[in-house]
Amino acid sequence: MISVKDFTTKLNLEALNETTRTEMDINVTDINRPGMQFCDFYEYFAYERPQVIGKVEMTYLETLDPDKRRAVLEKYMSYPLPCIIVCWGMTPPREMLEIATAQNIPVLQSKDQTTGLTYRATTYLNRELAPHVTRHGVLVDVYGVGVLLTGESGVGKSEVALDLVRRGHQLCADDVVDICRVSENHLVGECPEMVRHFMEIRGIGIIDIRAMYGVGSVVRSKSIDMVIHMEHWDNTKEYDRLGLKEETTDILGVKVPYQVMPVRPGRNLAIIVEVAARNLSLKQMGYSAARELDRRLNALIAQNSGMGDQ
């Protein structure tokens, strides 16, 4: 369900009629332009989508005589439409407002062109209807790479993020990260409004990152491109030293690159996160330092083997 108030506010729409509806039953991220329906073609009618009326549809309605127009609109609005959006700041016919009010269908007006409104509405619905999950962690933008720092409480996630902000990177969320899947393989995280831009540092308390470091130190939302799990160094555990094996973790059905970062005194964790972000960018461009070293070693072994056979 989509809130009528939120939908109207976020898309900068104006209500043209009064209804008792506070929510719209929208479950898809597309819109429908009812040109074919106005021509009495209902074989395939996506009535469950927001209905967008542009200049073409409005011009056609204006060519009809009042009785014909009323008949066309009555049949059209006999379906349970979630809402009707009139673009270009156009004023809809009186019959449309009367029938829509009787059917409890919100009629909304947009000053935008039809294409622009369609794009913004689709983007909004993609975000609102996307699967969501909340995770404990810190999300930072490092060289354009969205890094989600996870780990048990007190391991030092916020301190690493603070050091990264001091080095010119951006904080997205501290402690609580709201994650949504905006496409089949793309995750976006952001911070809840109540705690946005705030960070907790043990021994100091709550600090406001934006107030201390400026608006350039924070970002409202960020894609999640990799997960770095911070844990206290375990001498009995064998940590990856080559990087040949690429691990992933599953978040909302999306496989995200995953690395474990052991924490102990003396390690410069902020620099390690920076290196991990740069290394991921190189891998996405097709270059892997670990695989290049492995290739060179294999070539050297093959060369020495060939010399031994002679």
Least confident of 64-78, 89-103, 161-175, 293-307: 293-307
pLDDT band at 307 (very low <50, low <70, confident <90, very high): low
Report H helices in 92-200: 94-102, 114-129, 157-166
Mean pLDDT confidence for 276-280: 93
307: tokens are: 């010399």
Residue 288's pLDDT is what? 82
What is the pTM assigned to this prediction?
A: 0.74
Residue 240's pLDDT is what? 76
Mean pLDDT confidence for 259-280: 92
Residue 309's pLDDT is what? 60
pLDDT in tens, 20-42: 999 999 998 899 999 999 999 99
d(CA 78, CA 103): 8
245 as an active site residue: the answer is no
**Which residue among the candidates 65, 67, 241, 309 is catalytic per the annotation?**
241
Residue 291's pLDDT is what? 82
pLDDT in tens, 134-159: 999 999 999 999 999 999 988 999 99
Residue 30's pLDDT is what? 92
At which residue do the structure tokens 């039953």 appear? 25
**Which residue among the candidates 157, 197, 222, 229 is catalytic per the annotation?**
157
136 as an active site residue: the answer is yes
**Which residue among the candidates 175, 178, 210, 294 is catalytic per the annotation?**
175
Mean pLDDT confidence for 266-291: 90
At which residue do the structure tokens 């269908």 appear? 105
pLDDT at 14 over 80: yes
Select the more confidently predicted residue: 171 or 242. Answer: 171
Calculate what percentage of the chain has a pLDDT beyond 90: 76
pLDDT band at 91 (very low <50, low <70, confident <90, very high): very high
229 as an active site residue: the answer is no
pLDDT at 18 over 80: yes
112 as an active site residue: the answer is no
| Strand, coil or helix: 9 | helix
In sequence order, which residues have a C-beta less than 8 Å from that of residue 16 and are 6 or more positions away? 86, 92, 97, 107, 108, 109
Answer whether 57's CB lies under 8 Å from 25's CB.
Answer: no
Residue 99's pLDDT is what? 96
d(CA 159, CA 299): 43
**Which residue among the candidates 136, 166, 220, 295 is catalytic per the annotation?**
136
Residue 239's pLDDT is what? 79
d(CA 220, CA 198): 12
Residue 45's pLDDT is what? 94
**Sequence letter at residue 46:** A
Widest pairwise Cα distance in the chain: 98
pLDDT at 86 over 70: yes
Helix (H) or strand (E) holding 137: strand 132-142
pLDDT at 310 over 70: no
Residue 267's pLDDT is what? 86
pLDDT at 84 over 70: yes
Strands (DSSP E) along 184-263, which ranges?
A: 186-190, 198-201, 205-208, 221-223, 226-232, 247-251, 254-263
Answer whether 187's CB lies under 8 Å from 254's CB.
Answer: yes
Mean pLDDT confidence for 125-131: 87
Residue 58's pLDDT is what? 95
pLDDT at 243 over 80: no
d(CA 145, CA 271): 14
pLDDT at 128 over 90: no
Calculate what percentage of the chain has a pLDDT beyond 70: 98
Answer whether 202's CB lies under 8 Å from 162's CB.
Answer: no
